[in-house]
Copies of this chain bind each other. A is one copy, B any other.
């Protein structure tokens, strides 16, 4: 025997929808499985679908050239990738990159726009999330300007942990270096330092947060600032 679609989606934005609304919208969505490194949106191209992560995590990168950029926001099951399709012209300005493999719900852009126009509470939830994204991007801009690699790496690990709801995840130094916009070597050195202090354990693509509290102390203030915006916002 099958199971009923959950009244509450594992994605917090979709969870705003009433069961009836969810059922209606559900017809325009497909569950998809996202793999590490997959690119969902590319700057300058049209946004055809938006993604509501379930177990996956999606990084948003701002680029200064096709292979040079930095992460400005991270989307977990609290959010949506491609929200801009709901307002403004639905051209992407950020690259959406799958940073944690997992599942997500995919919705067509027109459907999002439609739902946003007819459902006030969904609209509000989307706006709130967009605002949190702005705060993230703004803080990242200042952070990139002032803080050293070790602090930024620590912050990034904590954010990833929060989005992933796990202390244990798979990623390479290479991938982290892309996110932080630094050399791979920079990550290697910084991660080595964190490991020596016993804050993390790392080995060939497997990252474990050992002492979250202490890691928080190693990270810059930006972590707490953005986290508080997430909670309140």
> Which chain A residues have a beta carbon within 8 Å of chain B's beta carbons?
60, 62-65, 68-70, 72-73, 84, 87-89, 91, 93-94, 124, 127-128, 130-135, 137-147, 181, 220-222, 225, 229, 232-233
Extra contacts, 15 of them, besides A64-B143, A142-B144 (Cβ < 8 A), are A62-B139, A62-B142, A64-B146, A72-B142, A73-B138, A84-B131, A88-B127, A88-B233, A89-B232, A93-B138, A93-B229, A130-B130, A134-B137, A140-B141, A141-B144
Across-interface contacts of A127 in B (CB, < 8 A)? 87-88, 127
Nearest CB to that of A94 among chain B residues? B138
Task: Considering the complex, give the chain B residue whose CB is closest to the CB of A132.
Answer: B88
Whether A69 and B181, one on each chain, are in contact in the complex, defined by CB atoms closer than 8 angstroms, is no
Give A55 to B70 CA distance when docked, in angstroms: 34
CB distance A128 to B64 under 8 Å? no
Decide: B64 and A137 in contact? CB cutoff 8 A.
no
Q: Which of chain B's residues have a CB closer than 8 A to the CB of A232? A: 88-89, 91
Chain B residues near A147 (CB-CB < 8 A): 64
C-alpha spacing A144/B180, complex, angstroms: 12
A147 to B144, CA, bound (A): 12
* Most B Cβ at <10 Å: residue of A130, A131, A233: A131
26 residue pairs bridging A and B, Cβ less than 8 Å apart: A60-B138, A62-B138, A62-B139, A64-B142, A64-B147, A65-B221, A69-B142, A70-B142, A70-B145, A72-B137, A72-B138, A84-B131, A84-B134, A88-B127, A88-B233, A89-B232, A89-B233, A93-B229, A130-B131, A130-B134, A137-B138, A141-B141, A142-B181, A145-B145, A145-B181, A146-B181
Of A87, A141, A143, most buried by chain B (CB within 10 Å of CB) is A141
Bound state CA distance, A233 and B88, in angstroms? 5
User: In the complex, what distance in Å separates the CA atom of A123 from the CA atom of B84?
Assistant: 15
The distance from the CB of A162 to the nearest CB of chain B, in whole angstroms, is 18
Q: Which residue of B lies closest to A131 (CB)?
A: B88
